[in-house]
């Protein structure tokens, strides 16, 4: 049996104007910006999906994806366009900063559960790492302090993997055995699964960071958003970081990827951690609250 010609034939490269239209659509819908120099990322994903569908004209596929009824097709394509690289405890200095922060929460007399959020969680390694850290620290306390961790991403496939919590043995390379013995169980000889006790504390859901205004998360104690914003333009990074700050509880910690935003400050945030870390703690009282309080005090004096 001979193969259909669309599988064996090389599809034509995107022209500059086709690339520009794809890039514009991708950026409008996901925030990710791909320059012409990195066009192979966009082209490889689009061509792969076109092959699956048996479409060999870039313009025809673009027209299909642009149809208002093509939400499902867009969701399929996203799976081929997003960069999902991740690891457990990917950037250790960031976790050291989170550890110090959690220790400070545990040293206080708080009773409210600790709530953490992993934004752009990919296949879940970051979310599970945060949950392992919290679980270890909370279990050393002599009182019960519940915690929850939410992982969000735009990719449904990545979220399904994250929820399953099954990883190949090689993904655990370099992790402390005290950690792996406690939080993973073997699935056959080649894979491990996150233990059910940790799974009870974690949930995953789809959130596009361009629609954070619709996300129900709020009053978060700890937010990790690493290796997502690097693909965004600066003005968009700032908008998203500001929205994350709104969702932080007073005193909460925001951890970004090193170098993901430079020469930027926020009136409600104080930088924390060592120089390898890009993390900020939200002030207990925001600039707006301070202003409102001083107005009320002034008003009270006048009366």
Q: What distance, in Å, lies between the first and last C-alpha atoms of the chain?
A: 92
Cβ proximity to ligand SAM: between 55 and 228 the closer is 228
Q: How far is the CB of 117 from ligand SAM (least distance, A)?
A: 11
| Contact by Cβ (8 Å): 97, 280 | no
Write down the residue that tokens 């207990």 correspond to.
284
Q: How far is CA 181 from CA 110, 184, 185, in A?
A: 30, 6, 7
* In the complex, minimum distance from the CB of residue 61 to ligand SAM, in angstroms, rounded to a whole number: 21
Could you give the string, one character per residue 253-272, with x where binding to ligand SAM holds by CB under 6 A and - elsewhere? --------------------
Site string for ligand SAM, 57-86 (x = CB under 6 A): -------------------------xxxxx
Residue-level length of the chain: 303
127-166 footprint of ligand SAM as x/- string (CB under 6 A) = --------------------------xxx--x--------
Nearer to ligand SAM, 105 or 255 (CB): 255
Cβ atoms of 161 and 125 within 8 Å: the answer is no
Burial class (CB in 10 A: 0-12, 13-18, 19+), 126: buried
**CA–CA distance, 56 with 53 (Å, rounded to integer):** 9
Nearer to ligand SAM, 169 or 208 (CB): 208
- Exactly one of 97, 135, 226, 286 binds ligand SAM (CB under 6 A); that residue is 226
When asked if residue 274 is in the footprint of ligand SAM (CB under 6 A), the reply is no
Q: Which of 50, 98, 192, 210 binds ligand SAM (CB under 6 A)?
A: 210
Closer Cβ to ligand SAM, 55 or 222, answer by number: 222
Task: Rule CB under 6 A: say whether 45 interacts with ligand SAM.
Answer: no
Q: Which of 14, 23, 26, 32 binds ligand SAM (CB under 6 A)?
A: 32
- Asked whether position 97 contacts ligand SAM by CB under 6 A, the answer is no
Among 48, 90, 164, 182, binds ligand SAM (CB under 6 A): 90
18 counts as binding ligand SAM under rule CB under 6 A:
no
- Which stretch, 95-103, 167-175, 207-215, 248-256, contacts ligand SAM (CB under 6 A)? 207-215
Distance of CA 67 to the CA centre of its chain: 28
Least separation in angstroms between residue 83's CB and ligand SAM is 5
Q: In the set 215, 228, 241, 253, which binds ligand SAM (CB under 6 A)?
A: 228
Give the interface with ligand SAM as residue ranges (CB under 6 A): 30-32, 82-86, 90, 120-122, 126, 153-155, 158, 208-210, 226-228
């Amino acid at each position: 049996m001979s193969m259909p010609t669309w599988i064996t034939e090389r599809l034509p490269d995107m022209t500059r104007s086709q690339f520009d239209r794809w890039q514009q659509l991708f950026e409008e819908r996901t925030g990710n910006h791909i320059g012409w120099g990195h066009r192979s990322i966009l082209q490889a994903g689009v061509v792969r999906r076109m092959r699956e569908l048996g479409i060999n004209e870039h313009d025809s596929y673009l027209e299909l994806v642009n149809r208002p009824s093509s939400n499902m097709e867009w969701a399929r394509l996203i799976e081929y366009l997003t960069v999902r690289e991740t690891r457990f405890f990917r950037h250790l200095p960031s976790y050291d900063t989170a550890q110090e922060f959690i220790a400070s929460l545990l040293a206080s007399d708080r009773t409210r559960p600790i709530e953490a959020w992993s934004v752009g969680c990919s296949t879940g390694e970051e979310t599970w790492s945060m949950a392992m850290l919290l679980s270890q620290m909370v279990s050393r306390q002599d009182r019960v302090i519940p915690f929850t961790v939410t992982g969000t991403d735009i990719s449904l496939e990545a979220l399904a993997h994250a929820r399953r919590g099954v990883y190949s043995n090689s993904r655990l390379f370099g992790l402390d055995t005290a950690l792996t013995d406690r939080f993973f169980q073997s699935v056959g000889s080649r894979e491990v699964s996150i233990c059910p006790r940790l799974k009870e504390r974690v949930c995953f859901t789809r959130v596009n960071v361009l629609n954070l205004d619709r996300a129900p998360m709020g009053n978060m104690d700890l937010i990790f958003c690493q290796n997502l914003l690097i693909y965004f333009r600066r003005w968009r990074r700032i908008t998203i970081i500001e929205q994350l700050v709104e969702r932080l509880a007073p005193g909460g910690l925001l951890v970004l990827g090193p170098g993901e935003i430079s020469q930027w400050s926020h009136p409600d945030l104080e930088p924390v951690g060592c120089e390898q870390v890009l993390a900020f703690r939200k002030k207990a009282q925001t600039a707006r609250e301070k202003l409102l309080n001083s107005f009320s005090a002034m008003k009270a004096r006048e009366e």
